[in-house]
Amino acid sequence: MSKELPLPALILHLSRDQARLYERHVGMSQSRQMLLLELKQNGELSQAELVQRLGMEGTLVTRFVKQMEGSGLLTRRSDPHDNRFTLVTLTPAGEQIARQMADFTHMLEAQILEGLDEEMRVTIRQGLEQIYEKYEQLTAADPTA
């Protein structure tokens, strides 16, 4: 890859390549992985909460939830306090996929950082965190994002 590639383009390529690696390893799309991780991190959530947290269209989240339920990764039930809402939680099979994703993440990070000294690792992490914060600011300021 050219050293002249602008930073936003480089980030886009990295994101795409990482999504492909995870999809190949886990066997599901990045959007479905994000849904699964949201449930792993937060426990049972309503579909409305998933829509808000993931920043996806409600119809898309509904479709993913139904498909993942059909695959045995999730369960749905009516909210006992408000039956207008559907609650979603991971099944043991969904928990297993989440663990596989976490294991893969640790292995991938080790491979990416292999050969770099601790100072470089810290510098890279700090730089990426600053870039991430800038992107969050930009997307928060842009109502079309």
What are the boundaries of each domain within the chain? Answer: 26-114, 116-145
Q: Which residues make Cβ contacts (< 8 Å) with residue 124, sequence separation at least 6?
A: 113, 116
- 93 with 73: CB under 8 angstroms? yes
The C-alpha atoms of residue 15 and residue 87 are separated, in whole angstroms, by 30
Answer yes or no: pTM beyond 0.75: yes
Handedness of CA 129, 50, 32, 108 (dihedral sign): positive
Rounded to an integer, the average pLDDT of 14-27 is: 91
**26-114: which CATH topology?**
Arc Repressor Mutant, subunit A (1.10.10)
Q: Over 90: is that where the pLDDT of 142 sits?
A: no
Q: Which residues make Cβ contacts (< 8 Å) with residue 104, sequence separation at least 6?
A: 22, 25, 26
Residue-wise pLDDT for 39-78, tens only, equals: 999 999 999 999 999 999 999 999 999 999 999 999 999 9
